[in-house]
C-alpha cells in the first residue's frame, strides 16, 4: 500500500484520488464537527463547496428535515442554523436531520475528493477507526489535510502523521514522498506532548482568542468518538464496519 499526503486540499485533481482510499482531515473544525453530528444521530452530512450549492440542495428538501451548518473565515454564515463548532451539534439539535455543511476548508477538500474509491473523514476523535479502515481496504491511500486557504496547518499535519505512524507501525519506509515524510517526522517529534503542540497551532490560538477554546479542547481528544463518516451518494453517513475486500 502506497500512502501519499497532501498538506493542503485546494489543488487536487481527479487523478490524485481515483481508485484510492482517501482520508480528509480538518481537525479544527469541520471533520470533528462531522464526526460529532453523525455520532449524535444526524441522518447524513452533505458537504458542499459554497453557499450556492448549499442553497440548491436545501431548496429540494422539506424545511423540517435539514439544517444548514458552516462558516466563512471561522464565523458562522449569516442565516445558517449552525456554525462550525462541534459543540453545537448535539443530539437534540441534529438527530434525524440532514446537515448541509459548508466550510472554508474542510468541505472544499471533501468536494475535491469525490472521485475516490473510498472517501472517509478523519480527525483525532476517530483516529483508530480511520486507521482500521485504511488497513482493511488495502488500497493505495491519499491523506488530504484541508489546511487553511491553501496553506499548511500544523494540526492537520500532525493528525496525518499520527495515521502514518500507526499504519507504518512507527517505522518510516525507506521510500516515501516528501510530504509524507514531513507529516510522519513532525508527529514523531511532537507525539510525547501532542496536545501541547496542538494548542500552539496558529488556528488553535485564533479559535481560543475568539471564544472557541472549548472547540479546540474537544477536537484534540484522541479516539473519543469511534465512528467513521463514509461518503456515499453525495453524502456522509456512518460506516458500520470496515470494508471487506476479496482475496
- pLDDT, one tens digit per residue, over 201-235 is 999 999 999 999 999 999 999 999 999 999 999 99
Q: Quick check: is 30 in a domain?
A: yes
Cα separation, 101 vs 15, in Å, equals 25
Q: Quick check: is 112 in a domain?
A: yes
- To the nearest 10°, report the CA torsion of 53, 230, 116, 72: 40
Domain count, the chain: 1
pLDDT for res 10 = 80
Percent residues over pLDDT 90 in the chain: 93
Residue 182, pLDDT above cutoff 70: yes
Please identify which residue in the block is written with the cell numbers 477507526: 129
DSSP string, 11-77: S--HHHHBTSEEEEE-TTTHHHHHHHHHHTT-SEEEE-SSHHHHHHHHTTS-TTSEEEEEEETTEEP
Q: Which residue has the higher pLDDT, 181 or 10?
A: 181
Q: Quick check: is 246 in a domain?
A: no
* Mean pLDDT value of segment 19-44: 98
**Can you tell me whether residue 179 is helix, strand or coil?**
helix
> pTM, whole model, 2 decimals?
0.96
Which helix H or strand E contains 144, and what residues bound it?
Answer: strand 141-145
CATH number at residue 152: 3.90.1560.10
Q: Quick check: is 224 in a domain?
A: yes
pLDDT for res 22 = 98
Q: Quick check: is 239 in a domain?
A: no
Residue 247, pLDDT above cutoff 80: no
What's the pLDDT tens digit per position in 152-178?
999 999 999 999 999 999 999 999 999
Query: What domain range is 13 assigned to?
Result: 3-228
What's the pLDDT tens digit per position in 184-193?
999 999 999 9
Cα separation, 5 vs 20, in Å, equals 12
Amino acid at each position: 500500500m502506497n500512502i501519499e499526503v497532501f498538506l493542503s486540499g485546494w489543488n487536487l485533481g481527479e487523478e490524485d484520488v481515483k481508485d484510492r482510499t482517501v482520508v480528509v482531515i480538518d481537525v479544527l473544525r469541520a471533520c470533528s464537527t462531522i464526526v460529532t453530528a453523525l455520532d449524535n444521530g444526524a441522518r447524513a452530512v452533505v458537504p458542499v463547496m459554497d453557499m450556492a450549492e448549499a442553497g440548491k440542495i436545501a431548496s429540494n428538501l422539506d424545511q423540517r428535515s435539514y439544517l444548514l451548518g458552516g462558516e466563512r473565515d471561522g464565523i458562522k454564515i449569516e442565516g445558517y442554523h449552525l456554525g462550525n463548532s462541534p459543540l453545537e451539534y448535539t443530539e437534540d439539535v441534529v438527530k434525524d436531520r440532514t446537515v448541509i455543511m459548508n466550510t472554508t476548508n474542510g468541505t472544499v477538500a471533501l468536494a475535491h475528493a469525490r472521485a475516490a474509491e473510498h472517501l472517509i473523514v478523519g480527525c483525532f476523535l476517530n483516529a483508530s477507526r480511520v486507521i482500521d479502515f485504511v488497513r482493511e481496504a488495502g488500497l493505495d491511500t491519499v491523506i488530504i489535510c484541508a489546511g487553511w486557504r491553501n496553506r499548511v496547518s500544523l494540526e492537520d499535519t500532525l493528525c496525518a502523521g499520527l495515521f502514518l505512524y500507526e499504519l507504518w507501525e512507527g517505522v518510516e519506509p525507506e521510500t516515501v514522498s516528501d510530504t509524507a515524510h514531513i507529516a510522519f517526522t513532525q508527529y514523531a517529534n511532537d507525539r510525547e506532548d501532542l496536545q501541547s503542540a496542538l494548542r500552539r497551532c496558529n488556528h488553535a490560538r485564533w479559535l481560543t482568542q475568539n471564544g472557541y477554546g472549548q472547540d479546540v479542547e474537544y477536537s484534540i481528544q484522541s479516539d473519543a468518538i469511534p465512528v467513521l463518516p463514509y461518503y456515499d451518494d453525495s453524502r456522509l453517513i456512518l460506516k458500520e464496519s470496515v470494508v471487506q475486500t476479496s482475496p
